Amino acid sequence: MRILVCWLLALGSVWTSGAWAAHGYALWGDLKYPASFVQFDYANGSAPKGGELRLVSNLRISTFDKYNPFTIKGTAPAYLSGLMFDTLLVGSLDETAAGYGLLAEDVRVAPDGLSATFRLRKEARFHNGDPVLARDVKHSFDTLIGPFTSPAYKSLLDDVSGVEVVDAITVRYRFKKPNRELPLTVGGLPVFSHRWGEDDAVLGGKAKPFDQVVMDIPIGSGPYKIGPVVFGKDITYVRDPSYWARDLNVRRGSANFDRIVVKIYKDSTARLEALKAGEFDLMRFFSAGDWARRVNGRKFDSGELVKAEFKHRLPTGFQSYVLNTRREKLKDVRVRQALGLALDYEWMNRQMFYGAYQRVQDLFGNTDCQATGEPSAEELALLAPWRAQVPAAVFGPMAVPPRTDGDSTLRDNLRQAQKLLKDAGWEYRDGALRNPKGEAFELEYLDSAETGVRTVAPWVRNLEKIGVKLNFRPVDFALYQQRLQKFEFDITSIAYAGTHNPGQEYADMFGSKAADTEDSGNLAGIKSPAVDALVTQITGAKRKQDLLPACRALDRVIMHSHILVPQWSAGTHRLAYNAWRLDKPAQMPPYAQGEGWAIDLWWAK
């Protein structure tokens, strides 16, 4: 109760008879902006409206075949969800773990932590002119946890027992147990009209099953609508001049372009050449080689196109090679550790990445949750009940990726890898590394055809030196997605986003239940009661000092389990943009996500 009162005091007001709790919600009761704030500090409230932003799709696909971004099958256009669907709360880009009222006028968290009540703004409207009502919020939630959407929603919302309509503009989410993160989680869910998918001609006014809502134009309440579309080439989002929240403090200075055109190209080479030719205005780069060697040309020389790196304070995330422990050859932790020892990151960073990256260390890099050194007494207390079910190394120094500089060499690492493989029953005989059954050690690396073999080739060569054959298997993106959904792979590469405030999403990525759920985020297939218990500790933490030991203990268990081979991350967003057509705020907010900053807050000259 004392904690909740502190939360509400920090949020600006306390629930009393006839009064609502606050204009926003902070995970630890610490909002930067008061109820009277006019705009976010990083936004330009005087930015002119108009003009056009031409983008390239950020998706690894060459087309789209639906307008529904929530169903499992098919692919929706890039950026659709963020541009078309408002949420109850919206986060700021210069603080973490906070949300401010967008569709919701205010939010109240119950003293027992078992519910969050949102009152909607009476002026909130969908694109068709209908008011946004509590029934729409409930309909959106019920649909997202239904049978036709990604199971990630079910995992994320597992601790939500349901939603009730209190009155026309008041909705209450009820929780199975106190969870400090859930008000932000449900506050960030997209809200769409209950009328989206109605088909009067076919079903007499009843809504179609959600998996049949494919090309129906979404009925959202966001700042943009779908405009002209050329299938296979581009989609244009047009700004709604009647957007209900255009003067709201959380939206002031945003959604400045009249049109946002998203163009689709067949491959990365075509995208780069189109940028140089002036076919679009902004592109984010993930390839260090492209950035160092190929982002150049006449328009860059003239100053029309500009290369810029914007430093951020986002978590590093944990982009990794994922080892599928459902496969028999990858069940032994010693085998998985041996595979990681064959990756020579330092050589790759020098020879291939132009020194542009830093090695990913663990799940929580660049956050307070990152585990280092020996476990604390609090971490040991959480880990002790699981001593027999986690690697013994968990109770020692934190796992760190192997290095090939300083006192370490690749040869040393490969010798250690050979010993681990031998201890696991793999020995070289009859021309191959074989297990006691005589099976050769051969694995498949699955990737989409767009990425190519270049970055994985050095790892493949090093694995050959210890007798492991890793075959590179490129497939088209649709098949790639399908195989990941069904866990039909040995090894693949995934760029996991990081967070300052881990929560229920880690049950989807590493939870035992998710391991058996098709299309879940648990690609590694890990099933560990220790992990399940630690995720429960994380989601149930009522104070930050309770959260940190739990997430650090989880960090140790996952990294010492060697289900991930850490890759690399960058501390900047690399953007090339047209300086003659676009203008921007002086500073990028520290927690902005790449081109999302431009979409939200830049404007046309």
Q: Name the helix (H) or strand (E) containing 428.
A: strand 427-429
Cα–Cα distance for residue pair 301/303, rounded to 1 Å: 6
Q: Cα dihedral angle (558, 564, 566, 567), rounded to 10 degrees?
A: -150
Eight-state DSSP code of residue 36: T
Cα–Cα distance for residue pair 250/244, rounded to 1 Å: 12
Eight-state DSSP code of residue 453: S
**Amino acid of residue 451:** T
Do residues 58 and 143 touch, judged by C-beta distance below 8 A? Answer: no
* Strand segments (E) across 12-62: 24-26, 52-56
Eight-state DSSP code of residue 290: I
Q: What is the pLDDT of residues 374-425, one digit of tens each?
A: 999 999 999 999 999 999 999 999 999 999 998 899 999 999 999 999 999 9
Instruction: Give the distance, in angstroms, between the CA of residue 270 and the centroid of all CA atoms in the same chain.
Output: 26
Q: What is the pTM of this model?
A: 0.83
**Amino acid of residue 8:** L
Cα–Cα distance for residue pair 532/522, rounded to 1 Å: 12
Tokens describing residue 289: 């080689």
pLDDT at 553 over 80: yes
Tokens describing residue 117: 């009540």
Cα–Cα distance for residue pair 152/497, rounded to 1 Å: 14
Task: Lowest mean pLDDT of 133-137, 153-157, 455-459, name the range.
Answer: 153-157
Instruction: Give the distance, in angstroms, between the CA of residue 187 and the centroid of all CA atoms in the same chain.
Output: 17
pLDDT at 5 over 60: no
Mean of per-residue pLDDT scores for the chain: 92
CB atoms closer than 10 angstroms to residue 428:
14
- Give how far Cα 421 sits from Cα of 329, 559, 566, 567, Å: 11, 19, 20, 22
Instruction: Give the distance, in angstroms, between the CA of residue 153 and the centroid of all CA atoms in the same chain.
Output: 13
What's the pLDDT score for residue 514? 95
State the pLDDT confidence band at 178, using cuts at 50, 70 and 90: confident
Q: What is the pLDDT of residues 356-384, one digit of tens each?
A: 999 999 999 999 999 999 999 999 999 99
Sheet strands side by side (includes 305-311): 224-230, 234-239, 259-263, 52-56, 282-285, 572-578, 305-311
- Give how far Cα 343 sits from Cα of 15, 25, 336, 338, 471, Å: 55, 43, 12, 10, 15
- Give how far Cα 539 sits from Cα of 161, 185, 522, Å: 15, 11, 18
Tokens describing residue 144: 């997202």
What's the pLDDT score for residue 437? 93
Q: What is the pLDDT of residues 83-111, one digit of tens each?
A: 999 999 999 999 998 999 999 999 999 98
Burial 590-603 (b: 16+ CB within 10 A, else e): ebbebbebbbbbbb
Q: What is the pLDDT of residues 479-527, one digit of tens each?
A: 998 999 999 999 999 999 899 989 889 999 999 999 999 989 999 999 9
- Give how far Cα 589 sits from Cα of 240, 360, 486, 499, 583, Å: 25, 23, 38, 16, 15
pLDDT at 428 over 50: yes
By the 10 Å C-beta count (0-12 exposed, 13-18 middle, 19+ buried), 215 is classed as exposed
Between 12 and 564, name the one with better pLDDT.
564
Tokens describing residue 545: 């000092």
pLDDT at 201 over 60: no
Do residues 109 and 7 touch, judged by C-beta distance below 8 A? Answer: yes
Cα–Cα distance for residue pair 605/492, rounded to 1 Å: 43
Question: To the nearest whole percent, how much of the chain has pLDDT over 70?
Answer: 95
Cα–Cα distance for residue pair 206/195, rounded to 1 Å: 9
Do residues 499 and 181 touch, judged by C-beta distance below 8 A? Answer: no
3-state helix, strand and coil shares in percent for the chain, rounded to the nearest 5: 30, 20, 50
Nearest to 467 by CA among 488, 504, 439: 439
What lies within 8 Å, CB to CB, of 89 at 6+ separation is 24, 25, 99, 100, 101, 102, 104, 107, 183, 184, 187, 188
What's the pLDDT score for residue 266? 79
Please provide residue 352's backbone torsions phi and psi, each rounded to the nearest 5 degrees: -120, -30
pLDDT at 140 over 70: yes
